[in-house]
Structures are given as structure tokens and as C-alpha cells.
Amino acid sequence: MDGNLSANDISHIVDADRAHVWHHLTQHKPFETGEPRIIIEGKGMRVWDQKGKEYLDGVSGGVWTVNVGYGRESIANVVRDQLIKMPYFSGSAGSVPGALFAEKLISKMPGMTRVYQTNSGSEANEKAFKMVRQISHKNHGGKKYKILYRDRDYHGSTLATMSAGGQDERNAQYGPFAPGFVRVPHCMEYRAQWNLTGEAYAEASVKAIEEVILAEGAETIGSLCLEPVTAGGGVIPAPEGYWPRIQELCRKYDILLHIDEVVCGVGRTGTEWFGYQHYGIEPDFVTMAKGVASGYAAIACCVTNERVFDMFKDNSDDPMSYFRDISTFGGCTAGPAAALECMRIIEDEGLLANTAKMGERMMGNLQALSESHAVIGDVRGLGLFVGAELVTDRTSKEPASEKQIAQVVAECGAMGVIIGATNRSVPGFNNTLCFSPALISTADDIDNITETVGKALGKVFG
């Protein structure tokens, strides 16, 4: 823990925070009597709070972000060097790290060719939405403007991305939303809408999307936006056979496929660089944020294939035909400099393979825990992106309450392990514990997390 901060400094910081900081996703009333948690320092998989308490971070900075772990001097060094040389110029010009990072990223994304740099996942998704709208105006008389999104998926906190938000509790009280966004059914087999399993369930899920397309009119649908594995909506990988059918559907109706890799991207799912690459599909847009620079700098990207890119340069005589969009901080060079170094770390340290191995261990440990804890209804995930859905009855699948879930998270915290949970997301179904430790996790780290979860479940559910 940071020896440079005296007890007085810390107490001043806590006071300043309580007086002036508005924390994200947080009800502040408890801070009138208690202290907010302030994270002072991090190293590897561990962080320390203002009281000097050490935590094993099972969620990479709370929200699936610090994929290469804390305290990476090499990232700090490349960012520092880059900032001194050239911190910023608007994205209408290029930059040295911007070009090199784009080249490196594209080398890991066969079929994709262009990187549009932005500063948040929400913004990256909005770029894709705007491109779809502009393509509609340029090529389809403005008619092919609708964007399909899936129940339980999340694409960001801005009003347009919330308009594409499949989590009603997250959206509640923030409407009205933008027109032209249409919801399609989820594909969560554990909570199947039809009495089917496996491939048959996958087929029904995709057929249900087709029905929406036909009801709306295929000529009005511009894109389909999906998370490869739904994150905050419950950690939901699609059933076997889902993705090839999605690809087929998009081709059949000339619908652009937008994959939101904000959580899954850049290694989180193990073995592959991106979630969609596990399924052999060819998206038109891939958006990413969180793990791109592991939170060492703010960077997000909307990556497209050449087919999309070409539609914005095909008529240079038309002054309105190119993508007339800017993201001021999309011109910051710290982001691509940090992102390039993160990719080097992932390659040199073999983190894609480690993620697959540790992810399997985590799933296995949680499955084993479910033998002694009937409250674990389902364990799901891909790589180090894992969820455990808690139910009070395995037969009826009655969800555990959000309050009980919060107690499990708090018990783990008290034992020095930070885990996450779905919250204020899908009404009545905020009952999934979330795990996303850094890609550098060791077997001991994974075992420590799951053993602690076992103890916490014992305390809360007996």
C-alpha cells in the first residue's frame, strides 16, 4: 500500500470524496454515515483500499477492464514517452501509435480493415449506429434505418445506446428513447422461452429474430447488434448453432452484423482475441473498449470491414458522403500507445492460452461448488468471463433476490475478494454472480476466488 500517503492525507481524500464525488451506479445515502471505498493502489491481481485492506480483484477493476493486471510499468512508460512527444491532435490527422495499433489490431481480425478510434464503448457503438443510418440514407433512400438489439444485451449509457438496451431496469426512468431501435428475443437456454434445448433452441431463437424482421419489413432493417456473450444481462453464451444461423439471417436480408465486443474483446474469452472468433462469423462492425488498453488509458474502437468503409468514400464529389463524425478524445495518443503495449503483453505472456485454461478451472470449480450449494442454478461463461446464476429452487428456477446476491458480494469483499453481480439490470433477474479476473490469473488466484465464494454462499444461504 502507498507509503507516500499519510493518515491525514487519506482522511482528507475521504472527506473530499464524500463531499464532492458522485460515484457511478451508487446510492450515496450510506456515505452520510459510512465511508465510500477508495482504491488507492493496485499490483498484479490485487488492490488496496484507503484502510490498507488488501483485495484479490475477481472482476478486473469492477467492470471487466484491467485485463493485464495492475502496476504495469511498461504501459506507463510507453504512455509517458508518447505524451511528451505528442499527446494529442484531432483524429482528422493520423498519429504514430494510432497507425501502429490499427495495423496490429487488424492483424488479429481477419476480414476487418478499418479502425475508428473513440473514447468509450457507448461512443463506439453510437459510431456504428450512425454509420448504419448514413448508409441507409446514402444507399436505401433513408428506409433501412432500424437497428435490432437483443433482450438482456447492453450497449452503453448514452441515450442512443440505451435505446438499444435490452435491460429494462437499467433503462427505467431515462426514457423516452430514440426511435428506430427494435428488440429481438434473447437466447438464454437456462431461461428458455420455448420448451426446446441445444440446437433446436438456437434455431427457435434465430427464427424468433427472423419473425421480428419480417414483421418490421426487412427493407427497414439496417443492422443487428449483439454481444457475443451477453455480459451485464447475465453472462449468457449463445447455444450451439446460434451464430452460423445469425450470419445466414443477416446475409439473407442484407442486414449488417454489429458485434459488441466491449466486454469480450481483446482476450477476455480466451484462445481467440475476440468473442465472435470462436464462432467463425464475419461481422461488419466490431466495437470494443474496456480491455483494449486495460484501463491504463481511455480508448475504444469501432472496427469495420472494407465493404462498410467503401460506402463512405465511393462518391468523393458529394460533400456529404463521407463519415462526418468526430470524437475529440478519439485523437488522444495515450490510448493507442497503451493498447499496443497491452497487445504485446498478451502475446508475449501467452495470456490467450492462460485465459482459456484458467477459465476452465474457474467453471470447473464453480460446477464443483454447485454440488454442495443448491443455490447455484447454472454456471456459464467463456474464458475468464464467467457467471453463476443463483436460484432458491432448482426446479422452479426461482431467482435468488438481488439483496441476497448483494450479501454474497459483500461477504466475499469482507473476506478480501472482490466479485461482481448483475444489478438493476433485468427486472427480477439480477441474480447472477459475475467473475472476470485478469487474464494473468494463476490457479491459486482462481481457487482463492471460488473458495471464498463457497464460504460466502454458506454464510448467506446456509
Binding footprint of ligand PLP on the chain (CB under 6 A):
63, 120-122, 125, 154-157, 227, 231-232, 260, 262-263, 289
CB of 158 to ligand PLP, least distance (A): 7
Q: Between 55 and 64, whose beta carbon lies closer to ligand PLP?
A: 64
By CB atoms closer than 10 A (0-12, 13-18, 19+), residue 300 is: buried
Q: Between 258 and 357, whose beta carbon lies closer to ligand PLP?
A: 258
Q: Between 123 and 411, whose beta carbon lies closer to ligand PLP?
A: 123
Q: Between 281 and 369, whose beta carbon lies closer to ligand PLP?
A: 281
Q: Between 289 and 400, whose beta carbon lies closer to ligand PLP?
A: 289
Q: Which residue's beta carbon is nearest to the bound ligand PLP?
A: 121
Q: Between 161 and 365, whose beta carbon lies closer to ligand PLP?
A: 161
Residues 58/418, Cβ–Cβ less than 8 Å: yes
CB of 289 to ligand PLP, least distance (A): 4
Q: Between 120 and 136, whose beta carbon lies closer to ligand PLP?
A: 120
Q: For 50-156, where are the E strands, in sequence order?
A: 54-57, 114-118, 146-150
By CB atoms closer than 10 A (0-12, 13-18, 19+), residue 186 is: buried
Angle between helix 443-461 and 351-372 (nearest 10): 30
Residues 116/127, Cβ–Cβ less than 8 Å: yes
Task: Count the neighbouring beta carbons within 10 Å of the beta carbon of residue 259.
Answer: 28
* Torsion sign, CA atoms 439, 445, 449, 450: positive
CB of 154 to ligand PLP, least distance (A): 5
Q: Between 121 and 391, whose beta carbon lies closer to ligand PLP?
A: 121
Q: Between 150 and 361, whose beta carbon lies closer to ligand PLP?
A: 150
Quickly list DSSP for 401-437. Answer: PHHHHHHHHHHHHHTTEE-EE--SSSTT---EEEE--
Residues 174/140, Cβ–Cβ less than 8 Å: no
Q: Between 151 and 227, whose beta carbon lies closer to ligand PLP?
A: 227
User: How much of the chain is helix, strand and coil, in % rounded to 5?
Assistant: 45, 15, 40
CB of 385 to ligand PLP, least distance (A): 11
Quickly list DSSP for 132-194. Answer: HHHHHHHHSTT---EEEEETT----SSHHHHHT---HHHHTTS-PPPSSEEEE----GGG-SS
CB of 137 to ligand PLP, least distance (A): 25
CB of 329 to ligand PLP, least distance (A): 12
CB of 451 to ligand PLP, least distance (A): 28
CA 144 to chain centroid: 27
CB of 419 to ligand PLP, least distance (A): 16
Q: What is the C-alpha separation between 125 and 286, in angstroms, rounded?
A: 9
CB of 372 to ligand PLP, least distance (A): 31
Retrieve residue 426's grid coordinates: 433485468
CB of 401 to ligand PLP, least distance (A): 23
Residue of 229, 259, 364, 263 whose CA lies nearest to 61:
263
Q: What is the C-alpha separation between 223 and 219, in angstroms, rounded?
A: 11
